[in-house]
Amino acid sequence: MAEEVIKLGKKKKSTLKDEFAKIIPNGGNLDLCLTCGACSSGCPATGLHDMDPRKLLRMAALGMDEELAKSEWVWMCSMCQRCIYVCPMKIDIPQLVFNLRRNWPREERPKGIVGSCDMALRSDTCSAMGATEEDFQFVVEDVLAEVQEIQLPFKDMKAPINKQGAKYFLNQNSREPVTEPDEMVPLWKILHLVGADWTYGTKGWAAENYCMFMADTDSWKHIVEVKAKAVDDLGCKYWLNTE
């Protein structure tokens, strides 16, 4: 009796998931999903646009590339990595999201994120709000003077700028000096009370990086390099990023 030959069919076409697995370190464990749902239960974006992390990953596993490419949910994800933290298989869903974003045409990405990235690229402050070096220094000095005058326990508090050789270089979300300057003060007080040796820099002081969230890797890299150079130029040992 002749043996029956079992034909498995044509070779499976490469999917976006397969392509991304080549980019993500260790393949991102994208093939290890147990469909347990732990990722979705802890995700702040679960349910938005009728999507969640588990559904996104299953669609990727099933080769639903066209549907994934059109899903606006990838812009709802904050890439907070909570899903990785709770996942028993440590699947890197945020990296999957990042690479899905990277495939979007730039002109179709959210205008707010694109605009903030572009604004940060315009100067060495890296401020997504467009705040200049002079604006930042004026606001810091003005707010500090008011605190020193009104809050006597902090009359000796400092908020140094461009202090050469400080131990810590502090970044600040650029929305705060522009729209909520008093929000900078609590952190100053903590640093003052613990006796920290710290400084801001007029260059590279903005903490946020919208180019990262836009998945523009070249611009993301540029922003980080500008900030890192500001830290090195002042000779600081540690870089404290508040974002």
Q: Domain locations in the chain?
A: 16-104, 112-240
Residue by residue, DSSP assigns 165-199 as: T-SEEEPB-THHHHH-GGGGHHHHHHHHHTT--EE
Please check the confidence at residue 10 and state whether its pLDDT lies above 90.
no
Residue by residue, DSSP assigns 30-75 as: TT------HHHHT-TTTTGGG--HHHHHHHHHTT-HHHHHH-GGGG
pLDDT at 23: 87
Beta bridge partners of 170: 240
pLDDT digits (tens, 9 = 90+) for 189-209: 999 999 999 999 999 999 999
Sign of the CA dihedral 132, 133, 139, 142? negative
Please check the confidence at residue 162 and state whether its pLDDT lies above 60.
yes
pLDDT digits (tens, 9 = 90+) for 84-134: 999 999 999 999 999 999 999 999 999 999 999 999 999 999 999 999 999
pLDDT confidence band for 8 (50 / 70 / 90): very low
**Is 150 buried (19+), middle (13-18) or exposed (0-12) by CB count in 10 A?**
exposed
Please check the confidence at residue 2 and state whether its pLDDT lies above 70.
no
